[in-house]
Structure 1
Amino acid sequence: MTTLKTHYDNSLTLEQYLAHMQVNKDEMLAIYNAFQVPDDARLQEIKDKDLKAIVITEDWCGDAMVNIPVLMRIAEAASIDLRFSLRDDNLELMDQYLTNGTARSIPIFVFLDATDHQYAVWGPRAQVVQDYVTEVRQNLPSKDAPDFEEQQKAVHHTIHEKYKNTPEFWEEIYNSIVERLIHL
């Protein structure tokens, strides 16, 4: 099995990932430009941990679109080097971080310590965001309903718009990631 260090070393830099992106790039960068980290002493605590991270992602993922720009701001403030691993090209890595033991949900942020060992894992959503998604999806018809695909597309559009336009979500994501890195 490939080590986390090897996955990190072989993953894309932020610049390479941005150049690779074909979907959600403008939206992701708009969130990045709109979101600023607060004056937060916890960021220095995180910086002192000397972390780096592997971001398991794909550009088509709406959750990645909203979570990655927040992580980018945290990484800037806490000197965390980010590398991006495309989920569909790295299933061996992804399958180590399944959501609920079965789902290849992304993004997943795998934080490594100075010795290249796993320090923490975060993803794919902050709890407040998960609660919202669960609530919005609860009215979907069954998968065998004739209008399921149409209804599902409408729900995904609603979620996507909420992600792009809700700074309160960005703040919840920020706090969720920071808390994960502080309280192990």
Structure 2
Amino acid sequence: MINTIQQTLQNSFSYTEYRNLASELIAQGKSTGHEQSEDLLHYSELNEARMNRLEKTITIADEVKTKLENLDKNYIWLVLAESWCGDAAQILPVIYKMSEASEKIDLKIALRDDNDILMQQFLTNGGRAIPKLIVLDATTLEVIADWGPRPHGAKQLILDYKATHGIVDENAKIALQKWYLLDKGTEIQNEIIALFESVLA
């Protein structure tokens, strides 16, 4: 596992590098990932606009900032993502702002499709769902915890929709984006902080 993590970190990007890569690919008519399609390009374009907005509007709660500032040691937050993923677009700006609140967090983003060996270690119900946050001890690269691909409220919305309609269609995706919009990153912050507190308790 350590070798796989080291390889993934070598292939990873800073948040700014990831954003620049996504923008460059969109300009070429592409998305990140091994599969290319008009739909994935369209989602990447939508997500770029969402992330631009969220970077301006998301705020980290004062109590969350305090807890992040008081972390006991240095961590790497390694996130597996792709530019076409709607959940990643909603969650990455929140994770980025959280990482910026603490000198003890080094945020790295790696593309899921380019790092499948690591992705296979963090499947959700057997699927390669993203984003997936992997919290590492910065010194040993030991996996401390992982989180994702969605906060509980968003996950429950999709489960309920699928139970009612049998599928996850465009209406479900619209409802999910509205959930994120109303939540303003609050549940993501709270769940990640709770994860740290449970591990460090």
- Which TM class, normalised by the smaller chain length? 0.7 to 0.9
CA separation in 1, counterparts of 2:166 and 2:5? 40
CA separation in 1, counterparts of 2:190 and 2:52? 20
> CA shift at 1:169, angstroms?
5.2
Say what the alpha-carbon RMSD is for the aligned residues. Answer: 1.8
CA separation in 2, counterparts of 1:9 and 1:17? 14
For residues 47-101 of structure 1, the C-alpha deviation after alignment (integer angstroms, 9 at most, x for no partner) is x32111211001111111111111011100123111111111211111110012x
2:73 to 26, 37, 49: 49
Alignment of 1:107 with 2:131, yes or no, is: yes
1:138 to 163, 166, 170: 163
> CA shift at 1:137, angstroms?
2.9
Amino acid at match of 2:95: L
CA separation in 2, counterparts of 1:156 and 1:53? 27
Identity %: 30
Alignment of 1:82 with 2:99, yes or no, is: no
CA separation in 1, counterparts of 2:147 and 2:20? 24
Contact 2:122 / 2:132 at 8 angstroms: preserved in 1? yes
Residues 153-172 of structure 1: pairs in structure 2 closer than 5 A: 153-163=170-180, 165-166=181-182, 168=183, 170-172=185-187
Please identify which structure carries the higher helix content.
2
Amino acid at match of 2:14: T
Say which SS state the counterpart of residue 121 (structure 2) adopts.
coil
After TM superposition, where is structure 1 displaced by more than 4 Å over at least 4 residues in a row? none
CA separation in 2, counterparts of 1:141 and 1:124? 21
CA separation in 1, counterparts of 2:166 and 2:149? 24
Structure 1: which 5+ runs fail to align? 143-150
Aligned length: 172
> CA shift at 1:29, angstroms?
2.6
CA separation in 1, counterparts of 2:185 and 2:68? 16
Alignment of 1:70 with 2:98, yes or no, is: no
